[in-house]
Every structure is written in structure tokens, then in C-alpha cells.
């Protein structure tokens, strides 16, 4: 394992529908294949040196998709939690869900709560699943929480810092991602982790999510190790900003 591989990675899992359409299949077939790929990537993380993996599963904008497709995605979420819960728990994976839960069906919310509670003490891998997540929405909700604490006297305006704001986000308590990957050949971030990604490296790959294998993942992690991350500073031996 390459020592310079990132331990905290986030992935925008894009291209399930296009993967299916190119094969003459219904879009839901691509989403089903995508769920299988989630299983493969999660299982590969410990051997690849990844300690935190954040997956963009369903955005706040995805509700605009056809009703049939949204319903199929919700069924797949239920199936994934039900089928994978025991394996995630036994393999040491801690699951956290990011996003606004109130718009989700009550039974899905209960399943999410249950899986989080069931795996809370695991420490082999932290798996964050962004479900009904939007970066701007997350920032607004964090600001509302902080404003409520200030209004109630629990917090002073002078207490609002980058650290305290980060703690109020859905990802509070977890380090920011070092690498963010987007599959399917698209070059945009789609409202994913805008605050947390301030100094993340990006990798945009041509493969649609169902074709994104652990081997490709490992190659990206190795390539990350060749990058120079300066965080706004100059090069170690001089150079331009």
C-alpha cells in the first residue's frame, strides 16, 4: 500500500442511468448495478488505506427526476440498508448519513437511525452516505442551528469560528476529504461538500459508476500521492504561489 494515499475520500457516484441506457437497459438497472459497486468499493477500502469514505447517493435536486425513478431509488436504499446492515456491522464499518432526513419516508428514516446506532462504535471505516443532501442546504441548516444557539444565549457571536461552524455541519466530528472523485466524465461538483472541499484534490474519471472498480480506485489513490498539496503556501523549495 502506498503511504501517500489519502485516508479520507469522497465520491460523486455519477452515471448509473447513462450506463444502463447505453446498454439498452432501463435506468433502474444502472442504479441496481451501482448498488453492487458500492458494496465492492466499501469492502475494498481497508486494504486501500481509506479510513473515511463519503458517497453522494441522492441530492436535494434528485427529487426532480421522474417519480418512477425516484421510487426505484428509494426501494434500493431500503434494500441496501436491510441487506448490508449485518455485514457493515461485523466488518467494523461505522455508518453516518448526511442530509436533511425529514423529506424521506418515515420507514427509511427509522432504518437510517437504526444502522447508525448499530454501527456507532465501529472504527475500521467511517462510511458517510449523503442522502437527500445538498451542500448549500447543509450550510443553511448549520447557520440556523448556530443562530438558534446565539439567540438562546448558549453561544456568543464571538464563538462563531471556522471550527465551530464545521462542527455544526452534517459532517461534524469528521475530517474534511483529501480527495473527491466524480465518475462518468462530468466536470462539476454538483453542490457536494462545498465547505469541506475547500482544499480537497479532485479527480474526474471517464468511467460511469457501475464500471468504477476497486482497481481503478486504487490507481487514483496512488496518483494522489504524486500531487503536491500546498494549501495556499509556496513550494517547499521555492516557486510560485
* C-alpha of 228 from chain center: 24
Q: What residues contact 96, with CB distance under 8 A and at least 6 apart?
A: 116, 126, 127, 128, 129, 174
For this structure, is 163 an active site residue? no
For this structure, is 191 an active site residue? no
Q: Which of 200, 198, 209 is nearest to 180 (CA)?
A: 200
As annotated, the binding site for Mg(2+) includes 14, 201
Query: Is 96:116 a contact under the CB 8 Å cutoff?
Result: yes
d(CA 193, CA 196): 5
The DSSP code sequence of 128-144 is EEEEEE-HHHHHHHHHH
As annotated, the binding site includes 14-19, 27, 31, 59-61, 63, 65, 182, 188-190, 201
Task: Tell me which of 4, 40, 47, 62 is the catalytic residue.
Answer: 62
Q: Which of 90, 177, 73, 173 is nearest to 131 (CA)?
A: 73
Angle between helices 27-48 and 67-90 (to 10 degrees): 30
Task: Tell me which of 8, 14, 132, 176 is the catalytic residue.
Answer: 14
Question: Residue for cell digits 436533511?
Answer: 100
Which residues does the annotation mark as catalytic? Answer: 14, 62
Amino acid at each position: 500500500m502506498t503511504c501517500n494515499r489519502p485516508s479520507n475520500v469522497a465520491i460523486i457516484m455519477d452515471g448509473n442511468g447513462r450506463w444502463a441506457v447505453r446498454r439498452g437497459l432501463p435506468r433502474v438497472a444502472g442504479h441496481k448495478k451501482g448498488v453492487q459497486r458500492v458494496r465492492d468499493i466499501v469492502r475494498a477500502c481497508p486494504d486501500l488505506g481509506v479510513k473515511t469514505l463519503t458517497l453522494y447517493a441522492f441530492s436535494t435536486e434528485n427529487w426532480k427526476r421522474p417519480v418512477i425513478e425516484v421510487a426505484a431509488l428509494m426501494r434500493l436504499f431500503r434494500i441496501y440498508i436491510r441487506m448490508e446492515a449485518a455485514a457493515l456491522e461485523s466488518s467494523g464499518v461505522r455508518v453516518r448519513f448526511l442530509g436533511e432526513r425529514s423529506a424521506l419516508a418515515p420507514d427509511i428514516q427509522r432504518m437510517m437511525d437504526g444502522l447508525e446506532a448499530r454501527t456507532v462504535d465501529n472504527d475500521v471505516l467511517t462510511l458517510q452516505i449523503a442522502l437527500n443532501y445538498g451542500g448549500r442546504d447543509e450550510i443553511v441548516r448549520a447557520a440556523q442551528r448556530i443562530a438558534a444557539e446565539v439567540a438562546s444565549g448558549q453561544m456568543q457571536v464571538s464563538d462563531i469560528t471556522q471550527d465551530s461552524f464545521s462542527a455544526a455541519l452534517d459532517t461534524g466530528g469528521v475530517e474534511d476529504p483529501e480527495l473527491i472523485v466524480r465518475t462518468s466524465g462530468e466536470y462539476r461538483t454538483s453542490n457536494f461538500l462545498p465547505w469541506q472541499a475547500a482544499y480537497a484534490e479532485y479527480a474526474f474519471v471517464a468511467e460511469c459508476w457501475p464500471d468504477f472498480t476497486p482497481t481503478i480506485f486504487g490507481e487514483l489513490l496512488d496518483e494522489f500521492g504524486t500531487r503536491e498539496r500546498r494549501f495556499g503556501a509556496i513550494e517547499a523549495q521555492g516557486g510560485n504561489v
